[in-house]
A and B are shown apart, each in its own frame.
Chain A
Amino acid sequence: MDANITTEIISTLSATMRVSTPLILAAMAGIFSERSGIVDISLEGKLLAGAFISAAVAAVTGSAWLGLGAAIGVTMLLSLLHGFASITHNGDQVVSGVAINIIVSGMTVVLGIAWFHQSGQTPSLPNTARFMPLHLPGSEIIGSIPILGDIYTRILGGHNLLVYVAFLSVALTSWVLFKTRFGLRLRAVGENPKAVDTAGISVAWLRYRAVIIAGILTGIGGTYISIAQNASFIREMSAGQGYIALAAMIFGKWKPVPAMFASLMFGFLDALSIRLQGVEIAGIGQIPVQAIQALPYILTVAILASFAGRAIAPKADGVPYVKER
C-alpha cells in the first residue's frame, strides 16, 4: 500500500479516537439517565460546564486532577438540579434540560469574563496542567514493526488518560447495567416504575443515583474537551456534542456497546471530514468549509431519521412517576 495513504488512514483513525471520547462519555451518561426514565437534554450543558470549570480550576491551581474533580463536582450539582426538577417536582424533563443548557451557556461566559477578563476564554494552560498523551508499555519495540507498530503507538496508544477512561466507562456501564442488582433495578425503574415501587424500592433514589452517575461521566467528558483535547476553555466549545451523543445513544438503542460504536462512527465521519478540508475531489471540486463543519449535524439528523430513529426507548422514559394515593 502507498505509504502516504497508510499515514492518512492512521491519522484519521487516531483522530477518530480523540473526537469520539466526549461522545462516548456523554452517551454512557445518557444511557444511565434514560434507562432510569429521565430524559437528559442537558448532557450538552453539562459537557460545557465541565469544560469551563476544569479549565478554570486547572488554570488557577495548575493541576489537571483538581480541574477534573471540580468539573465532576459541578456537573453532579447540575444533575441534582435536573433531578430536583424532574424527579422531586415531576417537572417537564426536556424543559428542565433546556433550561440547564441555557443557564450554562450564559454562566460560563459571565464567570469566564468576570474571573479571567479574556472575553470568555480561560488562560492557555501549560502542559503540566493538562492531561497529556501517554505511551503504552513497549512502544519502542512494537513501534518499529511497520503497520502493527503504527496501530499500537498511534491508534491504540498515544492518547491521554481520559480517552481510555471513556472506553473503560463503556465496559463499566455494561457491567453495572446488566450484571448488578443496581443495574437490574435501574432498568426496571425505566420500564415500569410502579413495579419497582411495589417491591418496596425507592423510585426517586434510584433515579437520583442514575442522574448523579450521568453527572460524573459528563464531568469527565467536559474536562476532556477543554484540558485534554485543547489547552483552554473557549465559549460554546461543546458545540452540540451533547446532542450528538444523545443521537448516538438512540442509534445504539440505549445499549452501551452499540452506543459506543455509534459514537465512534460519528467520530470517524467527523475526523474524515476534517481531513477533507481543502481537498479537491474529482467531479465535485473543493467542498466548502462550512459544509464540512455542518456535516456532523446533518449526519445526526440523517441517523435519527433512519430506521434507528424509531428505536424503542425505555417505556417510562421522560414520564414523571407519581405515586397513587
Chain B
Amino acid sequence: MRRRPLPAWADVILIPIINILLALLVAGAVIALIGENPLKAFAVMFQGAFGYAEGVGYTLYYATNFIFTGLAVAVAFHAMLFNIGGEGQAYIGGLGVALVLLTFDHLLPFWVLLPLALGAAMLFGAAWAAIPAYLQAYRGSHIVITTIMFNFIASNLMVYLLVNVFIVPGSMSPESRVFDENAWLPTVHDFLARFGIDVAASPLNLSFIIALIAGIFVWLFVWHTRWGYAIRTVGFSESAAEYAGINARKIIMLTMLISGALAGMAGINEIMGVQHKLLLNFVAGYGFTGIAVALMGRNHPLGIVLASILFGALYQGGADLMFEMPNISREMVTAIQGFIILFSGALTYMSRPWLERFFGLFAREETTEEVPHGR
C-alpha cells in the first residue's frame, strides 16, 4: 500500500489528539478495572471542570500553575535538557515569595510588593536549578538524576524551615502566619465585581494573566532572540553549536536558570494568590504535570496554554470525581498524566505509519495532478 508524508496539520493537531485519546482510553480501562463506569467518570470530570462557573475558575487556577511549570520544562527541552526538578524549583520559588511578603507586607504597598515577590520567586527558582545546571554543564552529571534529588532535598528543607522557623509560636500546624491582606493578589471574581460583573468565587487570580505574559515572553525569547537561537542550536547539536562559536556550557546554565525561574513563578499563584501563607506541599505535583504539559503542547507556549487548561480540567474534574465515585482516588489524575507523557512523549509517532497509509488512500489524484506539464 502506498504511503504519503503527513500534511503539517496532521502532524501538529491530529497526532497529539490521537495520543491524548489513547491515554484516555488506557485511563478508561483502569477505571473499568476498578469497577466503575469510565464514560460516567469522564462525564463527571467534564461537568466538574467546565459545567459551572466556579468549576471553570478552578480549572483556570490549576492551569495557571501548569503554564508556569510547563513553560519551564519546555524551555529546557529546547536545549535538549530534561528538567524534572520543576517540583522543587516551584517549592523553593514559593519560599522566596513568602520571605518577601512576610518581611514587607505591612511596610510596602501592593504594587511594590508584586514585582518584589515575582523577582524573589524567579530568583529562588533559578537558584534551585543552578546547581544541577552547573553540574550538567561543567561536570557532565546526569541532570535528570540531580534535579530529582533536588526535589527530595527541597522537600526536606521546607519541612525543616516550616517546623523550626516559619511556624507560628504555639501553633501545631507547620505553617507561616497569614500575610496582610494588602499582599494578596486580586482574584478574578473580586476584580470583575468592581465592574458590576458577578462571577462565582474561585481561587483564579491575577497570576493567570502573569502566566499568559510569561508564555508570550517565552515565545519571543525562544524564537526571536539570539539567545533563543543559541538554545535551540545547542539542543540540536552541542558540537555544531560549539563550531558556530556558541559557548554551550553558558547556554546550558542560561537555559536552566530561566527554566527554574519559570517554575518558581508557580509560587506566586499558590502562595501570594491562593494560600496567603507558606505551608507544606503546596506544589502538589504541579512540577511533574509540567512535563506532561510541555510534551503535549509540543514545547510551544500556545500548545502549553491549551494543554494546561486540559490538565486544569483533569485536576478540577478529578476533585469532583472523588465525591461522586469515592472508589476512584485523586491519584488517578497522576496516572493519566503518566499515560499522556508515555503516548505523547515516548510513543509520539506510533500512530504515524498507519496515518501515512490512511492519507495514502486519498493521495492518488493529487499526486498525478502535481506532476508539472510541458517540461
A and B: interacting chains: yes
Question: Within 8 Å of chain A (Cβ to Cβ): is B28?
Answer: no
Question: Does B141 contact A301, Cβ atoms closer than 8 Å?
Answer: yes
Question: Does A110 contact B30, Cβ atoms closer than 8 Å?
Answer: yes
Mark contacts of A207-250 with chain B using CB atoms, 8 A cut-off: 1 yes-contact digit, 0 otherwise.
00000000000000000000000000000000110010011001
Question: Within 8 Å of chain A (Cβ to Cβ): is B144?
Answer: yes
Question: Does B339 contact A110, Cβ atoms closer than 8 Å?
Answer: no
Please, which residue of chain A has its CB at the minimum distance from the CB of B147? Answer: A301
Question: Does A105 contact B338, Cβ atoms closer than 8 Å?
Answer: yes
Question: Does A291 contact B342, Cβ atoms closer than 8 Å?
Answer: no
Please, which residue of chain B has its CB at the minimum distance from the CB of A114? Answer: B34
Looking at B150-158, B180-188, B206-214, B237-245, the stretch in contact with chain A turns out to be B150-158
Question: Within 8 Å of chain B (Cβ to Cβ): is A293?
Answer: yes
- A residues 74-131 near B (Cβ < 8 Å) are 81, 84-86, 89, 91-96, 98-107, 109-111, 113-114, 120
Chain A residues with CB under 8 A of B149: 240, 243, 297-298, 300-301
- Among B156, B328, B338, B347, the residue within 8 A (CB) of A291 is B156
Question: Does A103 contact B342, Cβ atoms closer than 8 Å?
Answer: yes
Question: Does A294 contact B148, Cβ atoms closer than 8 Å?
Answer: no
Q: How far is the CA of A15 from the CA of B82 in the complex (A)?
A: 35
Residue of A86, A95, A111, A309 most packed against chain B (CB within 10 A): A95
Question: Does B329 contact A294, Cβ atoms closer than 8 Å?
Answer: no
* Chain A interface, >50% SS class: helix
Question: Does A309 contact B338, Cβ atoms closer than 8 Å?
Answer: no
How many residues of chain A have a CB within 8 Å of chain B? 47
Question: Within 8 Å of chain A (Cβ to Cβ): is B288?
Answer: yes
Given known A91-B347, A110-B30, A301-B141, contact A96–B342 (CB-CB < 8 A): yes
Question: Does B141 contact A294, Cβ atoms closer than 8 Å?
Answer: no
Question: Does B164 contact A85, Cβ atoms closer than 8 Å?
Answer: no
Given known A95-B345, A102-B341, contact A114–B335 (CB-CB < 8 A): no
Question: Within 8 Å of chain A (Cβ to Cβ): is B358?
Answer: no
* Chain A residues engaging chain B, CB cutoff 8 angstroms: 41, 81, 84-86, 89, 91-96, 98-107, 109-111, 113-114, 120, 239-240, 243, 246-247, 250, 288, 290-291, 293-294, 297-298, 300-301, 304-305, 309-310
* New A-B pairs, 7, CB < 8 Å, besides A106-B333, A294-B157, A304-B139: A89-B346, A102-B341, A290-B156, A290-B163, A298-B153, A301-B141, A309-B141
Q: Top 4 A-B pairs ranked by shortest CB distance?
A: A106-B334, A103-B338, A106-B335, A96-B346
